[in-house]
Structure 1
Amino acid sequence: MLAGFGLGAGAVSPLLTVRGRLPRAGPVAGVAILAGSVPIGALAFAPSLVAAGGAAPLVGLCASLVGLCAGLSGAMCAALLRTQADAAYPGRVTAVPGLVGLGLAPLGMPYTAAAIGTWGPGPS
């Protein structure tokens, strides 16, 4: 799965580089976030780890789609954030998403694991 995430995220970089500016970046980011969340959410409803692993080609395809969508939405969100921010605060504006993604998100992982243990992966 991680290889699929990396493959998809790596594939979007040259596509954005060659394509250049995307019109209506906000809606593109929103659609990419929704399109990437559907396959990753579907993995939570696999009846067992064996079932999820048994569908390895499908899981790999879903992971690549998630990586592609996450890479696209991440690039679009970062670009929108930087272009809409005040020019006097580029470092602060860039630091906040980094702090949340790399600092606060890992702190929530034990709570997510506890919720999965209590209610299962579907509702969590």
Structure 2
Amino acid sequence: MVKTRVKAADLREKSKAELLQTLANLKKDLLNLKVQHVGGAGSSSGLKIKEMRKNVARVLTVISQTERKKALEEAKGKRIPYDLRFKKTRAIRRKLSRSDRNVKTVRQQKRLTHLARRQYAVKA
């Protein structure tokens, strides 16, 4: 009934249908454990419940990661949707690119060419 730990590496090899079947089985086992815990099965059932919840979370994580990866591959070469972009930080996302930082206005260009920085030689 209760497995020790589901490995994420093993889950990645399975198809989506197999993952959904595994998820259904884990949820059923979790429900049974909760019923036993309420019935007063013992102190160790709390640890088993915790482990089962983590197993369910692992399966759901692998499912979402594989779906996300497929969606990113489909969007390759196109504009990537906001929910699939990498989060990073707000400051990094808003930071200008190197080429945008180096762009100068016409006024700045004129000022740089006509009013270049003067260099003075000091007489010894």
Structure-2-length-normalised TM-score: 0.39
Q: Which has the higher helix share?
A: 1
Structure-1-length-normalised TM-score: 0.39
> Using CA pairs below 8 Å that are at least 6 residues apart, which structure has the higher relative contact order?
1
Higher alpha-carbon Rg: 2
